[in-house]
Amino acid sequence: MTMKQLSGLDATFLYLEKPEMPMHVGAMHLLELPAGYKGRYVDDLRRHFATRLPVAPVLRRRLWWMPLNLANPAWVDADPDLSLHIVEHKLSRAQTAGADARTLMESQVSKLHPQLLDRSRPLWLMHVIEGLPRSDRGLKQVGMYSQLHHAAVDGQAAVALANVLFDVTPEPRTIEVRPSHRVKTFKLGMVEMLRGALTTELAQVAKIVSDLPSTLSTVAGTAKNAIHSKALLGKGSGNVTLAPATPMNATVSAARAFASTSVPLPELKALARTHQATLNDMVLMLCASALRSYLLQHDQLPRKSLVAAVPISLREAGDTRADNQASMSLISLGTHLADPAKRLAHIRNASRAMKSTMGRMKSILPTDFPSIGVPWLMEAVVSLYGKAKVADRIPQVANLVISNVPGPQVPLYLAGARVLTNCPTSIVVHGLALNITVQSFDAGMDFGLMADGAALPDVKALALAVDTALDELRTLAPPAATDTASAQSVVPAKRPRASAKTAVRRSAPAAAKRAAKAVTPVRSVSRKRPPARESTPTRATRSR
């Protein structure tokens, strides 16, 4: 068997991990059990996972480290003990008194998330929470909090794994398992590991050298396009800019605070159509409006727009491999604009400018790179960055992470239980103490807000502000035709070929030429000066 070494991007999540920065992702689920259920759900879930393990290789592998941690580790086979990977927690009556199921689960996620996964085992855990109040239909509920290390999956890979584990009917489907003739590898010898690492290293260096000319050409073209887009958006509204100081831009602690909310998916899609925007634009708008409201209430709203770091998938269609294939882009959120209509127009423009820039870059962004010596360097830098509290001293390029992951838009079941919520949980790092991950599920958009417990202990108030932002969006009038034309002009279009009539004009006298120039409505719109930025004066934010 060929050694399966972790890619540079996958391994980065291992090197970034510290007690104050757990690097696992997952989701908070509320599950409704069938009427008359008498069993013990954790036992049913373990039996269910046992039937799906053969088709879920990401759950059947663990890390095997290189000698002296010289290069990236490799994946080897493992036989997971499901009694250790699917664990039960029972809440007492005192813990559940007067609280609803969602709030109880948010509290459990806040408590469990800081616990690091055991690297000697497959990098995943499922926590089953018993003792929750009954559902609105009077049926028994259990909660589940999943943890999967980011070194093993990104957002799209996690969705692919969910497609294996979950069913669309209460009765679990039968999975046909094809016999495998692959020889399992439970450990690697030192010679095999060093040979594999050197072979991979040489191949990566050769690829970098061969791709260098096209890479430089793409970067140059992208830079020109970014400058053009910024000129059209107006001064101070571009995506590539340093982010203002906020409570989110701090060195994180080991504590976590988690909150969630859900909004109706069909309504959000209808609002997107009404405002000539994408569904992702509407997600950014809800987050931007909620952040503006939250920071205003705390007298901490910067005069400058907040900037979101937004993950961009690099996956080809149909690629379901369990690894990381993503990069990061920046989008200005328009939080300095008090008028919600102007804020949404700002987000639409910024989003289109980002797509125009990233469209070229996606083909050259690497997910793998040479790794010999990298583990030592990265672990030392990350440790020093945290201990020296560098994030408290220097400006950041973004204020928070906002990720929108497309999910299944149908009802789902897990081991016979109906899934009521699927709120994603993600990671926060030094300098980015808030991560808002959103996933479409069934008829809703589920928001998961993971924050550093010291920087944003009241993250629940921010989640509630998302609901208020939706109410504001419902009352927003559709954009005028001129606004739509201006938004579409951000991404420059190719100039059409000259027609025969245009050729005649070019040969006409100067007066005829001036007359012809007077009827060019599309170009006059694109040259239109953007409206003046509207801001809300606040007290000065904390100094760097």
Task: Please report the sign of the dihedral spanned by the C-alpha atoms of residue 270, residue 275, residue 278, residue 281.
Answer: negative
Q: Which of 196, 217, 173, 248 is nearest to 436 (CA)?
A: 248
CA-to-CA distance for 478 and 472, rounded, in angstroms?
13
CA-to-CA distance for 375 and 73, rounded, in angstroms?
10
Three-class SS string for 239-278?
CCCCCCCCCCCCCCCCCEEEEEEEEEHHHHHHHHHHCCCC
29 is an active site residue: no
For residue 296, the one-letter residue type is L
| Structure letter (DSSP) for residue 321 | -
CA-to-CA distance for 357 and 210, rounded, in angstroms?
23
CA-to-CA distance for 540 and 544, rounded, in angstroms?
11
Contact between 442 and 413 under an 8 Å Cβ cutoff? The reply is no
* Distance between first and last Cα of the chain: 52
Contact between 396 and 243 under an 8 Å Cβ cutoff? The reply is yes
Q: Which residues contact 62 (CB under 8 A, 6 or more apart)?
A: 75, 76, 78, 119, 120, 121, 122, 123
Torsion of CA 296, 302, 304, 307, to 10 degrees: -80
Choose the catalytic residue: 24, 29, 150, 346: 150
The C-alpha R_g of the chain, in whole angstroms, comes to 26
Q: Which of 112, 108, 104 is nearest to 134 (CA)?
A: 104
CA-to-CA distance for 304 and 437, rounded, in angstroms?
23
Q: Which of 73, 72, 11, 69 is nearest to 371 (CA)?
A: 72
Q: Which residue has the tokens 């919520």?
A: 421
Give catalytic residue positions.
150
